[in-house]
Structures are given as C-alpha cells and as structure tokens.
C-alpha cells in the first residue's frame, strides 16, 4: 500500500474543483445565472475552448494525487519503507514515458541519439550516433522499418482516437435527446443541420480533433519519444504534460489570492469614501508604482531563504518545491490586487448613488449590510470577468518569472522552466528546437483556450461588452453595403 502525500497545492486544487462543482449546481438553480452561462456556450469558440480547458483540468487533477511507492522489504526490517520520490496518478499513467530515460538528446520519433560518439570501425575512429535504449528499440532494422511502423501506429491511433471521440459524441447526443424528450435520430438531424440554439456540433468537432491528436500521440509516445528528449534524456512530452498542472495552479490560486484584498478594499473605498478611500487609494497607487518583477523577485528570494534555512520541515524534495509554488501564488496574489481593487472602487462609487442603495440608507440599514447585500452581488460579474481574464495572464507571467530564475523550483516542471533550459539549446549547432517548440505549443494552447473562454464570459456577463460588439457588427454590415 503506497503512502499518500497531500501537498499544499493538491489540497487547494481539489478544494477548487469541489467549489467549481458547487458553483455549477448553484448556477443551474438560478435562472438568471443559467441564462448568462447559456450565452457563454452559445459562442462556438467559448464552447470549444471550455472543452480544452476541462481536458487540461482533468490532467491537473490526475497530477494532484501524490503518493510514495512502497519499497520491497529489506532483510530483517520490521517497518515499512517508502520511496523518496513522490509520484502522482499521472506519473503512473505515463509510466512508460517516465521509465524510458535515454542518455541525452534525441529528436522527435528518432531511433538514434542526437549526439554522436567516437567508436573504432576497422581501425579508424568515427563519429556515429548510437541507438537509443528505448526509442525505436523494437525495430530490428530502423532504416527500413521505421517509416512503415510509424505510419501503421499513427493510423491505428488515429482510428482508435476517432472511435473514442465518436462514442463520446454519441453519449452527448443521447443525453441531449433524453433531456429534450426527443428521438435520438431527430437530435442528430438537428445538430447536423445546425438548428440547435447551442452549437453542439462544434463540441463534437472538438471531440474529433482532440480524439485524433490524443490517439496518434498515445500510439507513438510509447515505442518512440514523440517530442524527443532533453539533455538528461527525459521525455519532453512528459514534461509538457506535467507543466499543465503548474500552469493551472499558478493561474487559479494566484488569481483567487487577489480577490479578498481587492474585493474588500475596493468596495470599502468606493462606498465609505472619505479618509478610508484616501488611504486605500494611496496604498494601491504606491503598490502599482513598484515594478512587479522586482517586487515579486524580492518576495520570492525571501521565501527561498526561508526554505533553505528550514530543510527539516520537508520529508521529500517534492514537498519543498510544492510549498515554494504555493507561496509564489500567494506572492502573486498579494502584489496583483491593485487593478481589480481600482475597478471595483469605481463601480461601487456608481452603485452607491442608485435609488435602492439610497433607500436602504434612509431606512437605517448598516453600511456593512448594504455592502454585503446590495453592493457585492452587483459587482460579482466584474470579479468573474477579471478572474477569467487574469488566468491566462498569470500563466504567461509564470513563464517570464521562471525564465529570469525567480519562478517555480527548478525540480518542478513548468513551461517557463522548459523555455529557460531551451535558451542554451537554441544556441547550439545543430539547434535543439523540440523542447522549446513543445513548451510553446502547449502553453499557447492553454492560454489561447483561456482567452477565448474569457471573451465569451465577458460578452455574456458584461452588458457594455455585448452592446459594443453589436454596435461594431452593425457598423461592419453598414460598411459592407
């Protein structure tokens, strides 16, 4: 029986997942919220990007269940001993990639090493690329067998991926038919003709694309290194998948860490005005005048000193790296609340002059109750919009911080860490491009999906954004005529 390890960010991620489920139930029972979210998913890019983000969330949850494997009992030992390495369910799922460690660099789908070694051939010293220990090891003659084997495995994985996507699409359509009380064939015909209010055909198309990509990748990433290996021989695809969790932790926890200060101080400053408004404005103006990178770097260095001087607090290196990540999220939250606070202050200044707030004041309702019952619910949509928009910005911010050396721990996989290591690889001759390319593709995919989803949320929950988009559309149609 392995020893389960609860890391700081593990608990936070699972609590956030439970909160997300609770919010879905809450929004489903509120007709106004359900109507707003329906508008989000009526936008085809938002629906497609939501599916991509849910897939990334699933990877994050798999990578947020950690344990230490039980070691074989030593002779005469009475107590159980556990491995010093902390693994996750994602590591167990990708065990073939974890164990397939080569000596050094190898290109994607290669059967030989990227670097050459000196060997003696017929009395002469030649530079040859040795065979990889795992990549393409099943091939007897790579020169003739490699291309047919890759094509066969890719086509098989493509077929299986499409079959899985079609099954998922069939389950979705069956659920829709059951929910609407119509025949399955009629539901399929409605989606095929595009007569549904929600673009479920876009979701089916996203399933097919993801199924094809996952099927081909799964078929090739076992016998080969699909994205190559890095300088220590580790699989680059495995590192990219592990980096998704780091990006999600930074994006969610750091964003949520900004909310308490921003919401409380913004509403208090806008409603009470006077000296409270002056003090809060002074604080966030001073904070905004300090360069963020310098402020965060100073805080992270203080955290690093604390971790280095208290090594007895951690049983494994994973616990130390995880606490640094958790504290980095707290630092990002405590230094990034000024923008949302300024926005909520301005909105509260407008709301406090409305009739229902003036009526509550006339009836003697306390200021605290007015801020909680009347102001906060009417600025909640701004919190939601800013939270979703900041998610992608913080993912990019983590990449910048890790690139300059003040981000996550070097032992933890992250997109910024991969790009930082690729800095020297890109200057080699011949160039080692696949680590940077893999990190770039995965990071752009996550950030693009988050941005598209954020656009849909903003258009659905902010009436001014909807009216602006409708005005621009009318002007465009008028110009076309």
Residues in the chain: 481
Mean pLDDT confidence for 413-422: 85
The encoded tokens of residue 13 equal 């991620």
Instruction: Grade residue 159 by pLDDT with cuts at 50, 70 and 90.
Output: very high
- Segment 421-462, tens digit of pLDDT: 888 788 777 888 888 899 999 989 998 998 888 888 888 877
pTM for this predicted structure: 0.87
* Mean of all residue pLDDT scores within the chain: 85
Instruction: Grade residue 323 by pLDDT with cuts at 50, 70 and 90.
Output: confident
DSSP 106: B
CB atoms within 10 A of CB 476: 9
Q: Is pLDDT above 60 for 468?
A: no
Q: Which residue has better confidence, 1 or 60?
A: 60
The encoded tokens of residue 204 equal 């089916």
Contacts of 250 (CB under 8 A, 6+ apart): 325, 328, 329, 332, 394, 395, 397, 398, 408
- Segment 41-72, tens digit of pLDDT: 888 899 999 999 999 999 999 999 998 888 87
Single out the residue of 437, 392, 445 nearest to residue 108, CA to CA: 437
Beta strand 87-88 pairing with 66-68 = antiparallel
Distances (CA, A) of 41 to 4, 95, 200, 457: 38, 36, 9, 9
In the beta sheet, which residues pair with residue 126?
A: 119
The encoded tokens of residue 323 equal 């606490």
- Segment 196-228, tens digit of pLDDT: 778 888 899 999 999 999 999 999 988 899 998
Q: Is pLDDT above 80 for 467?
A: no
Instruction: Grade residue 321 by pLDDT with cuts at 50, 70 and 90.
Output: confident
d(CA 189, CA 192): 5
d(CA 82, CA 411): 20
The encoded tokens of residue 146 equal 């490699």
DSSP 72: P
- Count, in order, helices (H) and strands (E) of the chain: 19, 5
- Burial call 349-387: b when 16+ CB within 10 Å, e when fewer: eebbeeeebeebeeeeeeeeebbeebbbeebebbbbbbb
DSSP 69: P
- State whether residue 280 is helix, strand or coil: helix
Instruction: Grade residue 394 by pLDDT with cuts at 50, 70 and 90.
Output: confident
Mean pLDDT confidence for 348-353: 88
CB 283 within 8 A of CB 262: no
pLDDT value at residue 416: 84
d(CA 4, CA 423): 36
Which helix (H) or strand (E) is 125 found in, with range?
strand 124-128
Least confident of 248-262, 275-289, 391-405: 391-405
Distances (CA, A) of 422 to 2, 162, 242, 244, 436: 35, 34, 17, 18, 6
CB atoms within 10 A of CB 283: 15
Instruction: Grade residue 119 by pLDDT with cuts at 50, 70 and 90.
Output: confident
Mean pLDDT confidence for 126-131: 80
């Amino acid at each position: 029986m392995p020893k389960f390890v609860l890391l700081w960010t593990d608990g936070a991620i699972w609590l956030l997942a439970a909160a997300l489920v609770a919010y879905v139930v809450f929004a489903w029972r509120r007709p106004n919220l359900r109507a707003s979210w329906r508008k989000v998913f009526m936008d085809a890019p938002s629906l497609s990007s939501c599916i991509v983000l849910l897939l990334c969330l699933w990877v994050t949850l798999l990578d947020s269940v950690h344990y230490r494997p039980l070691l074989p009992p030593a002779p005469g030992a009475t107590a159980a001993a556990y491995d010093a390495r902390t693994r996750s369910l994602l590591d167990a799922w990708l065990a073939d990639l974890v164990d397939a460690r080569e000596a050094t660099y190898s290109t994607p789908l290669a059967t030989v090493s990227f670097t050459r070694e000196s060997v003696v051939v017929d009395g002469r010293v030649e530079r040859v690329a040795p065979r990889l220990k795992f990549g393409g090891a099943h091939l007897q003659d790579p020169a003739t067998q490699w291309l047919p084997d890759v094509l066969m495995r890719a086509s098989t994985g493509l077929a299986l991926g499409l079959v899985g996507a079609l099954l998922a699409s069939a389950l979705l359509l069956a659920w829709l038919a059951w929910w609407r009380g119509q025949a399955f064939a009629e539901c399929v015909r409605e989606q095929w003709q595009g007569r549904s209010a929600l673009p479920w055909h876009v979701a089916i198309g996203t399933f097919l694309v993801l199924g094809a990509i996952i099927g081909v990748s799964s078929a090739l990433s076992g016998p080969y290194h699909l994205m190559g290996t890095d300088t220590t021989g580790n699989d680059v695809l495995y590192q990219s998948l592990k980096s998704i969790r780091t990006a999600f932790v930074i994006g969610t926890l750091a964003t949520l860490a900004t909310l308490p200060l921003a919401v409380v101080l913004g509403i208090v400053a806008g409603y009470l005005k006077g000296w409270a408004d002056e003090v809060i404005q002074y604080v966030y103006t001073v904070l905004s005048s300090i360069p963020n990178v310098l402020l965060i770097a100073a805080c992270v260095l203080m955290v690093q000193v604390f971790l280095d001087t208290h090594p007895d607090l951690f049983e494994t290196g994973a616990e130390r790296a995880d606490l640094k990540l958790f504290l980095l999220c707290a630092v990002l939250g405590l230094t990034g609340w000024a923008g949302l606070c300024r926005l909520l202050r301005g909105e509260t200044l407008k709301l406090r002059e409305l009739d229902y707030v003036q009526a509550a004041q006339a009836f003697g309702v306390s200021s605290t109750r007015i801020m909680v019952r009347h102001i906060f619910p009417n600025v909640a949509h701004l919190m939601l919009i800013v939270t979703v928009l900041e998610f992608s910005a913080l993912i990019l911010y983590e990449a910048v911080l890790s690139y300059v050396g003040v981000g996550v721990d070097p032992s933890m996989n992250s997109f910024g860490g991969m790009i930082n290591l690729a800095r020297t690889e890109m200057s080699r001759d011949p160039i080692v491009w696949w680590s940077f390319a893999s990190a770039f593709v995965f990071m752009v995919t996550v950030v693009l999906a988050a941005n598209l989803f954020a656009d849909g949320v903003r258009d659905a929950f902010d009436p001014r954004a909807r009216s602006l988009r409708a005005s621009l559309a009318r002007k465009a149609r008028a110009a076309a005529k």
